[in-house]
Amino acid sequence: MTPILTVERLGKGFVLHGQGGLALSVMRDLSLELHPGECLVLAGPSGIGKSTLLKILYGNYLAGEGHIRLHFSDGPLSLTELPAHAWHALRRDVIGYVSQFLRVVPRVSAREVVMEPLLARGADAAEARVRAETLLARLNLPERLWSLPPGTFSGGEQQRVNIARGFIGEHPLLLLDEPTASLDAANRAVVVELIHEAKARGTAMLGIFHDEDVRERVADRLLPLESFMAPSLAPSAQPISRGLPHA
Amino acid sequence: MKRPDPSAPVLARPELDRPVLLDVQDVTRLYGPGKGCEAIDFRLHAGEVLGIVGESGSGKSTLLRVLAGLEAPDAGRVVYHRPGDASETDLYAIGEARRRALLRLEWGLVHQNPRDGLRMGVSAGANVGERLMALGQRHYGQLRAAGQDWMTQVELDPARIDDAPRTFSGGMQQRLQIARTLVTRPRLVFMDEPTGGLDVSVQARLLDMLRTLVRQLGLSVVLVTHDLAVARLLAHRLLVMRRGRVVEAGLTDQILDDPQHAYTQLLVSSVLTP
């Protein structure tokens, strides 16, 4: 079956100009394939670049080397060469992301935060509202919180708002950065259910899960990142090459 | 492991390339060495919010004045592509009268200081109705209804339609200026530090309102701000300016999370987070 996403020999480094041009290489030669309906779980100790990979795939970080391609019915699209103005539509329609932290406009209610991905596609507001409330209810967020801005919520409550916002759009590719980190067992089980339902719809997922039990229940495959870690913290006067394919 | 049927429809490509609305070609406007903006090149696509960030004196406000038709560049072109119209409009090659008509009919400008964008001596309703009258609307009842409708949209009490803007708070004046600008449904809106002079508590409400209006009206926006948090929440893409030049451009999240240029790294790392 055709993969939805292929990553070839991806490398990433950071040059810290404020530290005299210190060059940090954090990833090299990472390759993977992701198919519709599968959940690939990134494994390895913290600091190994799991979040870095998700951030590159979502456009927050620039890829240093290698290729990332999405495979559409009419052919592949290179994310490493995608102009910045195209990311907006891609994120709206294709790639979803559940981050560990919620970043939203203050004073906007939890319900509206969750509705937004649908509204951005021009969905009917009443329908978006029903779907947002259904998800918030499934995630056991008390109804009295729905009309409040999530800024003052607990970590677990914020995370559930974040999960609802991430799943409501039913993106074909979903990046999950520790979506269960601050949840209790009951809500972890709801997230596992959501992931299983997404798989059944054909959603491809790439995730980080520290909770072993959750990992066991959702992962189709594990990708250990140790072998792709670059020799860490190598100070170098050489700038890291960027945007160049491997020769 | 059970997978969906391989013959199931595969991934459909979304529309990634929206038409170009504004094409800025090598624009320079200098008052002195390093003062103003120099060799600026970018395109704004339909439906995009483009943020221009930088410190005071970086040239971002000069650039905005050139883009918004208020100040001719020393060199370069600002070209407007009207949606659904194959011809292009070179902003400073057309005459003054046509340029003013364009600004009045198809574009909008939101000033940092609402007093620069409002007429303080006339009522709130007249402020909103004025741009409609410039479009030829004369029916008093309709103008008044539009005034009330837009005051509601920007969360102002429509019962205050006959009050003068000077009796409004700063945040209310800014929302009135936005209503006055958007009432004519402009395709392209320029905003100069729209949340700049406001209390923090008022800023959040205005930010949310701007995001909603951009989405509902399908606006394209060029937004100048020195506030990176405002840029993160409103802008899809950013240009980072320093000493009159663009030093880095890209997706907003990338500029703020993985800045490449030394100056952008300094700018991003200097922000205080409470």
Q: Summarize pLDDT for A104-150 with one digit per residue, the tens.
A: 778 899 999 999 999 999 999 999 999 999 999 999 999 999 999 99
Q: Which residues of B touch A119 (CB under 8 A)?
A: 215
A155-168 and A185-201 helices, crossing angle to 10°: 10
pTM across the whole model = 0.91
Which among A167, A178, A168, A187 has a CA at the least distance from the CA of A207? A178
For residue A104, CA distances in Å to A55, A200, B199, B274 come to 18, 30, 19, 15
ipTM (interface pTM):
0.89
Q: Which residues of B touch A89 (CB under 8 A)?
A: 14-16, 18
Task: Please say whether the beta carbons of A7 and A40 come within 8 A.
Answer: no
Task: Render pLDDT for B94-123 as a digit per residue (tens, 0 to 9).
Answer: 999 999 999 988 999 999 999 999 999 999
Task: Please say whether the beta carbons of A188 and A180 come within 8 A.
Answer: yes
**What six digits make up the tokens of B200?**
């923090």
Sole residue written with tokens 């947002």? A132
B168, B170, B175, B176 alpha-carbon torsion, rounded to 10°: 40
**Distance of residue A33 Cα from the nearest chain B Cα, in angstroms:** 15
Q: Which residues of A touch B237 (CB under 8 A)?
A: 84-85, 88
Predicted confidence band at B9 (pLDDT cuts at 50, 70, 90)?
A: very low
What pLDDT score was predicted for residue B207? 87
DSSP B13: P
What pLDDT score was predicted for residue A231? 57
The phi, psi pair for A234, rounded to 5°, reads: -90, 105
Measured CA to CA, the distance from residue B227 to residue B271 in angstroms comes to 9
Above 90 in pLDDT, residue B137?
no
Which among B38, B35, B33 has a CA at the least distance from the CA of B74? B38
**Distance of residue A121 Cα from the nearest chain B Cα, in angstroms:** 9
Task: Provide the 3-class DSSP secondary structure of residue A117.
Answer: helix
In chain B, % helix, strand, coil (3-state, to 5) comes to: 40, 25, 35
Nearest chain B alpha carbon to A63: B258
Of chain B, the percentage scoring pLDDT greater than 70 comes to: 96
What pLDDT score was predicted for residue B237? 97
Helical H runs in B13-164? 60-67, 96-105, 114-117, 124-134, 140-153
Hey, are the CB atoms on B215 and A119 less than 8 Å from each other?
Answer: yes
